[in-house]
Chains A and B, each alone.
Chain A
């Protein structure tokens, strides 16, 4: 933990090698969350790049009482949520990916997730990509642990009903 905070200190001083190391550690997980939220690798890469740029330029505002991962996920989810807003306003209600991945085995789940409200979907992605605790999820979205639990429960029950109706499982 302390080592990561030292790493952030180096990033804040503009150390490019430290930033490359940080991206090496978290890039895959950030991409995983973004891809599951946005639905395509290309859109996820755009979002992660934007989030990492904000991290690099704003590293001076990082406060050591935050776990680095929590801080990174906060910035990434802010970028992804705003991308979902843009899609919603473009397409009415359905938040379809701008450049969808080719259909695959997860198609039903992707569709079903599209029916889960944005906040619950963000929490599901964070919870299942990186196994984050309720406390970390609460910090990332600025809500109470009870709200995290109820949102996850609500999201899962909506998923369950969407998957059952779709005959996916």
Chain B
């Protein structure tokens, strides 16, 4: 086949679509809704930390951090959660302290942490993963009592048939988190430095919006001359 004929085929295939229809009206409606939704979840939650990490996130008032190290971790957690809720973060770097959790629950939470951002798995998958395939109900209970929701993403675990299942903050919040993760990218590059990061990396905070490009994978970014960030190590994500 000649290159010219590939050109012709491509020209025919890539003709612009006709009619954007109702797009503007739909977008304006979505913009008004997103403004109304700004009664932010972050204002409703309290964070408890130890010097080792975040130990509890709940809707009620919690103990204040006892040490400076714990206070710093609480601030970091609040910042990261704010970015996450705004669709500007696809991973958490703040440590968690699950030392108070029973052994079984720790295993369940560790398995839930392995579910990639933006994806979901059934309760049975978690049960399988921790080597107790028949303990599906116990897995549900352990996730329902997740001490550090959002950071340990128990909201990514659904019923086998796709039903939402329960959630500590209500199924509305669970569904909002899932749709938030569906629209938050994971890899972004900076056109001035040609570095690709995970969304939420400290480098990204200083990036001008018009320098930002999204990638489907680190390999894609590499294929056009971007290199992975040495801080957030996106290739290991």
What is the interface of chain A, defined by CB distance below 8 A to chain B? 16, 19-20, 22-24, 26-32, 35-36, 41, 44-45, 48-50, 52-53, 56-58, 61-63, 66, 71, 74, 77-79, 81-82, 84-86, 88-90, 106, 109, 117-119, 124-125, 128-130, 141-144, 147, 151, 156, 159-160, 163-164, 169
Contacts and interface: CB of A to CB of B under 8 A. Distances in A.
B34 interface: yes
B213 A84 contact: no
Interface stretch (B25-33, B96-104, B168-176): B25-33
Contacts of A32: 14-17
B75 interface: no
A50 B183 contact: yes
Chain B contact surface mostly:
mixed
Interface residue range, chain B: 35 or more
Contact of A31 (B20, B186, B189, B220): B20
B17 A28 contact: yes
Given A85-B187, A124-B10, A143-B224, A49 B213 contact: no
A24 B100 CA distance: 57
Contacts of A130: 16
A119 B14 contact: no
Given A28-B17, A74-B213, 20 more contacts: A27-B23, A28-B16, A29-B17, A31-B17, A41-B17, A49-B27, A52-B24, A53-B31, A57-B34, A77-B213, A78-B214, A81-B215, A82-B185, A84-B216, A86-B118, A125-B14, A160-B3, A160-B6, A163-B1, A169-B6
Given A61-B209, A142-B191, A163-B9, A48 B23 contact: yes
B79 to A, nearest CB: 21
A92 to B, nearest CB: 13
B17 A128 contact: no
24 contacts: A19-B24, A20-B28, A22-B24, A23-B23, A26-B20, A41-B17, A62-B210, A66-B210, A71-B210, A74-B210, A74-B213, A77-B213, A78-B212, A85-B187, A85-B216, A89-B118, A89-B119, A109-B10, A118-B217, A129-B14, A129-B16, A142-B189, A143-B225, A164-B1
Contact of A56 (B13, B28, B213): B28
Given A32-B15, A109-B13, A89 B214 contact: no
Contacts, number: 158
Chain A contact surface mostly:
helix
Identify which of B9, B26, B28 gathers the most chain A CB atoms within 10 Å of its CB. Answer: B9
A50 B6 CA distance: 32
A117 B220 contact: yes
A44 B23 CA distance: 12
Interface in B183-237: 183, 185-187, 189-191, 194, 208-217, 220, 223-225
B151 to A, nearest CB: 21
B182 interface: yes
Contacts of A35: 17
Contacts of A159: 6, 10
B11 interface: yes
Ordered nearest first, which 7 A-B pairs have the shortest CB separation?
A: A27-B20, A142-B191, A128-B14, A85-B216, A78-B214, A23-B24, A32-B16
